[in-house]
Amino acid sequence: MSSEVFHIIDPRTFNRELLDELCEITDTSRALGKTPEGAAALRSLLADKRAMLYFTQASTRTFLSFNNACHLLGIGTSEIRDPAISSEVKGESFDDSMRTFSSYVDVIIMRTPERGLAGRAAALMDLIPRRVPIINAGSGPDQHPTQALLDIYTLERSFAGRGGIDGKTIAMMGDLRRGRTVRSLCYLMKNYHDIRLVFVSPPSLAMRNDIKKHLVQHNIVFSETAVLDDVLGSVDALYVTRMQSEWDEEEESLKVDLDDFSIGPNQLPKLNPDAVIMHPLPRGPEIDPVVDSDPRAMYWRQERNGMWMRAALLIKIFGVEEQLRNQR
């Protein structure tokens, strides 16, 4: 099986073997969790571990899914969600705060509005005696590796009868410039064969060049358009994102005609009947609630997949995947 996993910071470090193994661990643990005995076995897997959830940027799903993933595995949790009630207000440095957390827990899961802080925490951990893994649960507008993992799991399972992700055409729509989920998902695409990406966005919120350069380097075919109608019939997945208005400097998102980058009753009949519709959530008006009852809508399943994929990640980080397999 694939090598040891420690910090989870940058999606570029994932290889196919590890992605496939994480999907397998996700399936195994969620199947186990269906019976009371299996759920009890899961809760004993990491009952000696504790996690710190340091979430100083708004979060509902990522926080709750990590929190519940920890509880599924018996991991105790502590949290800071508001830096105003941590000793950072007394002037304690970020590094000292991280070092303090590491004194009490076995893994630190963190989301910050600043880019790069999870990487900085990981580098700090590598210098201190009680080194604990750092998981990036969203680093500003930069990266969101664990969302990309649950997106991969959702795509793989959606295409299970059709050869998995390999060979598929995936459209990403919305605020691609500032949406970290699509940036991280693009990084994982190098692990799959014959992928085509289609970026659907207003030119002002187009995918940034750093990601495009990465795609070119890895021979991943991509195209860009502002016309959703042109791609609806040919895509296998439509990954919709919201306007990231919290990053607006000059009301960029208000200038967008969202009707052009939304899916609703007018677009559904034109969408490939085999396609899946995804969204990291929370959604804005870009997905009409009527889409929720369309069998192609995967975003609610994506949410639940996230909890199980995050549990799988913790299982892998703490190296108890063989104990899990022995429970089958």
Stretch that binds ligand NCD, among 23-31, 46-54, 163-171, 175-183 (CB under 6 A): 175-183
- If the CB atoms of residues 45 and 145 are measured against ligand NCD, the closer one turns out to be 145
If you ran DSSP here, which 8-state letter would residue 82 be given?
-
- Rounded to an integer, what distance in angstroms lies between the CA atom of residue 255 and that of residue 151? 29
Per CB under 6 A, 316 contacts ligand NCD? no
> d(Cα 272, Cα 268) in Å, to the nearest integer?
9
Asked about 49 being catalytic, the answer comes back as no
CA 57 from chain centre, in angstroms, equals 15
The region of 33-41, 87-95, 176-184, 196-204 touching ligand NCD under the rule CB under 6 A is 176-184
Q: Which of 12, 16, 43, 61 is catalytic?
A: 61
Q: With respect to ligand NCD, which residue has the nearer C-beta, 144 or 190?
A: 144
For residue 59, the minimal CB distance to ligand NCD (Å) is 6
**Smallest distance, ligand NCD to C-beta of residue 159, A:** 21
By CB under 6 A, the residues from 221 to 260 that bind ligand NCD are 241-242
For residue 96, the one-letter residue type is D
62 binds ligand NCD (CB under 6 A): yes
Sign of CA dihedral 256, 260, 261, 263: positive
User: For this structure, is 144 an active site residue?
Assistant: yes
90 noted as active-site residue = yes
46, 75 contact by CB (below 8 A): yes
**Residue 138 near ligand NCD by CB under 6 A:** yes
Smallest separation, CB 137 to ligand NCD (Å): 8
Identify which of 75, 77, 72 has the alpha carbon closest to the alpha carbon of residue 28.
72
Query: Could you say whether residue 147 binds ligand NCD (CB under 6 A)?
Result: yes
- List the one residue from 198, 231, 235, 281 that touches ligand NCD (CB under 6 A): 281
Strands (E), the chain: 50-55, 76-80, 107-112, 134-139, 169-173, 196-200, 221-225, 237-240, 276-278
Please select the residue that binds ligand NCD; options are 140, 145, 164, 280, rule is CB under 6 A: 280
Length of the chain: 328
Instruction: Report the alpha-carbon distance of residue 308 to residue 30 in Å, rounded.
Output: 6
Whole-angstrom Cα distance, residue 111 to residue 129? 24
Number of neighbours of residue 126 by Cβ within 10 angstroms: 11
Q: How far is the CB of 176 from ligand NCD (least distance, A)?
A: 11
Catalytic residue among 49, 111, 168, 296: 111
Please identify which of the residues 26, 28, 56, 62 carries the catalytic annotation. 62
Count residues binding ligand NCD (CB under 6 A).
Answer: 12
Residue 61 annotated among the catalytic residues of the structure? yes
Is residue 259 a contact partner of residue 285, using CB atoms and an 8 Å limit?
no
- HSE value, Cβ hemisphere, 13 Å, CA-based, for 178: 17
Interface contacts to ligand NCD, rule CB under 6 A: 61-62, 138, 144, 147, 179-181, 241-242, 280-281
- Catalytic center residues: 61-62, 90, 111, 144
